[in-house]
Amino acid sequence: MTTGTATRPSGGVRRQDGRERRKRTRAAGTTRLAGILLSPTLLVLGLVVFYPLLSALRQSFFTENDELDAEGFVVEGEKFNGLGHYFDAIAGDGAARFWNAVWNTTMFTTTTVVLEVVLGMAMALVMHRAFRGRALVRAGILVPWAIPTAVSGLLWRWIFAPDGIANVVLGQQVVWSADGPQAQLAVIIAEVWKTAPFVGLLTLAGLQVIPNEVYEAAVVDGAGGWRRFLHITLPLVKPALLVAVLFRVLDALRMFDLPFVLVGQQKQSVETLSMLAWQEATNVRYGAAAAYATIMFLYVALVAFALVKLLGTDVVGEARTQLRSRRVRSREAVVA
């Protein structure tokens, strides 16, 4: 590749310089055009993503409407409260409730994602198999994912009602929606039922790109089913699986509608961080609500960062390959 330029006569170098410059100005023009074309998108993003975030952050430093004047009217206006809401949440009056919510959120995320990965993997393996009626099975497995969360919450609430089907099947009188471990179990069951198909779907996509020859070669080498799963399927499906895990973890950390509909508000055993923020906002304590929302945002960001860094989840896989190929190209130019 490099030989082409090396054997050119010296005049050719100047010509090539001109071409480079033209290319560069054309590139600059393209960049500018791209900038112009993208600016509405960036503007909208700024308006709907960054503005609410910053405004919530600002709100979390203020407190309002918490004093009455002599006639019993609320004193208007907001007061700067510094990090007061954050201190309240972490170590002050709200600490017990806050840490309970953090614990619930983390517990639900861990248990549901682990169960979902196991079940989703199994579903994907089943869906991957060629058999009669496979399309039907695939469609059937996807049904729970297609139902809106609030609706499936309602569905499971009927199942877990005192005289619902769950108690009939179990022959017990469990009050599932009462505060306690049984409520947590109900939420976990409903959540896993709902989202395992999602993991299954993403894993299936990963499975389908594994070439069949690899398995054929393994069979020739005498590898059993379990070994093929451990040493071929799992490593090769890992990138897709990790993306699924990342998506699920981020989603589960914001869990709100399912416990809210299934069990109810203010139930200590299932209260998540989102529910806590919602509750404060309902009580017109926007400052505290914003503080909870901000803490949750940081928590989610931290977990996402950790997953990407530690597990090497390749969320933007394509972008990285492009980057790599560009880097290779520029290195070649340097060599030239």
Q: Least distance (Å) from another protein to the CB of residue 55?
A: 4
In the list 18, 76, 133, 169, the residue contacting another protein (rule: CB under 8 A) is 76
Nearer to another protein, 74 or 139 (CB): 74
Q: Compute how many other C-beta atoms are within 10 angstroms of the C-beta atom of residue 251.
A: 17
Binding residues among 161-180 for another protein as defined by CB under 8 A: 161-163, 173, 175-180
Q: Extract the tokens encoding 14.
A: 């100047």
**Scanning residues 225 to 284, which ones bind another protein (CB under 8 A)?**
251, 254, 256-257, 260, 264-268, 274, 277-279, 281-284
Shortest spacing between CB 45 and another protein, in angstroms:
15
Nearer to another protein, 233 or 294 (CB): 294
Let me know: does 294 contact 60? Beta carbons within 8 Å.
yes
Q: How far is the CB of 327 from another protein (least distance, A)?
A: 37
- Find the shortest distance in angstroms from Cβ 75 to another protein: 8
Query: Which residues face 78 on adjacent strands?
Result: 64
Pick between residue 3 and residue 172 the one whose CB is nearest to another protein.
172
Least distance from another protein to the Cβ atom of residue 204, Å: 24
Helix, strand or coil, per DSSP, at residue 129: coil
245 CB-near residues (< 8 Å, 6+ apart):
113, 117, 199, 307, 311, 313
Instruction: Give me the half-sphere count of Cα atoms (radius 13 Å) on the Cβ side of residue 131.
Output: 8
Structure tokens at 151: 């609706």
Residues in the chain: 336
Binding map of another protein across residues 42-61, x = CB under 8 A, - = no contact: ---------xx--xx-xx--
Report 19-38 residues binding another protein (CB under 8 A).
none
CB half-sphere exposure, 61, CA atoms < 13 A: 6
CB 242 within 8 A of CB 228: no
> How far apart are CB 145 and another protein at their closest, in Å?
14
What does the per-residue mask of binding to another protein show for 122-151, with x meaning CB under 8 A?
Answer: ---------------------------x--
Using CA atoms of 253, 258, 261, 262 in order, give the dihedral in degrees to the nearest 10: -120
The C-alpha atoms of residue 221 and residue 235 are separated, in whole angstroms, by 18
- Closest separation between CB of residue 311 and another protein, Å? 24
CB of 36 to another protein, least distance (A): 28
Between the two ends of the chain, the Cα-to-Cα distance in Å is: 9
65's CB contacts (< 8 A; 6+ apart) are 74, 75, 284
Contacting residues for 243 by C-beta, under 8 A, at least 6 apart:
202, 313, 314, 315
Mask for 290-309, x = binds another protein (CB under 8 A): x--x----------------
Give 65 or 106: the residue with its C-beta nearer to another protein: 65
> Using the 8-state DSSP alphabet, how is residue 74 labeled?
B
Question: Where along the sequence are the contacts to another protein (CB under 8 A)?
Answer: 51-52, 55-56, 58-59, 62, 64-65, 67-68, 71-74, 76-78, 93, 149, 161-163, 173, 175-180, 251, 254, 256-257, 260, 264-268, 274, 277-279, 281-284, 286, 289-290, 293
